[in-house]
Amino acid sequence: MTDDDDLRARLRSADPAASLEPASPAQVAHLVEETMSSRSNKWALPVAAALVLIAGGAAWAVTRTDTPTPAPTPAIAMSPRPAKVVELTATGVQAKCREPQPQQLATSADFAFEGTVALIDNGRVTLKVSHVFRGATADDVVVAQAGDSSETMLGSGKFETGKTYLVSAAEGTVMICGYSGEADSIGLRELYEAAF
């Protein structure tokens, strides 16, 4: 197969990358670090900033609600401003949590999935998606977690590494008030099965 060898050699001598300098170790390290710490652009859900309460919980609203527009601002838990309750009611959101309804979930959620928390880094929770109930498929979902303990979700109230969650979202914000939480929370899976 010397013919082949010749041809290959000739093609190789025309390789435009032959003169390409190898990336420096520093560049490589930077790129690797960047890759592993980057978040998915597609499904970055700024929960902390925008807890759109489908039916806002009065007790929670005092400590952790924002305007219902998604905006990537720091966790609300850091600045509890009771005045925001007023804003919330002003936007017409109910001030009490109603019992979660499958129909409500079915009509409001545009993205719902089951996933296990793989990584929590700097308030960013990365969930490995195991099942998508509704919406485009995604491998990972990144959620900004508000503070250390948010009482916005069923179960322990926050994302914890290794635990599995059922999460639904509307327009990029996580639906709480009984619509998202630990997968083994009582009634949650049934709710999802009824809705989707």
Residues 6+ apart with CB under 8 A from 71: 46, 49, 50
Q: Which two tokens stand for residue 116?
A: 């296990």
- Site residues, another protein (CB under 8 A): 3-4, 6-8, 10-17, 20, 22-23, 25, 28, 31-32, 34-36, 38, 40, 116, 118-119, 128, 139-140, 161-162
Provide the 3-class DSSP secondary structure of residue 2. helix
Percentages helix, strand, coil for the chain, rounded to the nearest 5? 30, 20, 50
Q: How far is the CB of 128 from another protein (least distance, A)?
A: 7
Helix (H, G, I), strand (E, B) or coil at 44: strand
- The tokens describing 143, both together, are 């959620």
Identify which of residues 20 and 83 has a Cβ nearer to another protein in the complex. 20
Q: Is the Cβ of residue 99 or residue 139 nearer to another protein in the bound state?
A: 139
Phi, psi of 6 (to 5 degrees): -60, -50
Closest distance to another protein from the beta carbon of 24 (Å): 11
CB of 143 to another protein, least distance (A): 16
Round to whole Å and give the CA distance between 163 and 128. 11
Q: Which is nearer to another protein, 94 or 164 (CB)?
A: 164
Query: CB under 8 Å to 97, separation ≥6 — which residues?
Result: 55, 56, 57, 177, 178
Name which of 11 and 136 has its Cβ closer to another protein. Answer: 11
Q: Cβ of residue 116: shortest distance to another protein, in angstroms? A: 6
Measured from the CB of residue 129, what is the shortest distance to another protein in angstroms? Answer: 11
Nearer to another protein, 118 or 186 (CB): 118
Provide, rounded to whole angstroms, the least separation between the CB of residue 147 and another protein: 21
Angstrom CA distances, 160 to 70, 103, 107, 165, 181, stand at 23, 28, 28, 9, 11
Q: Are 123 and 105 in contact (CB under 8 A)?
A: no
Give the residue with the Cβ less far from another protein, 103 or 122. Answer: 122
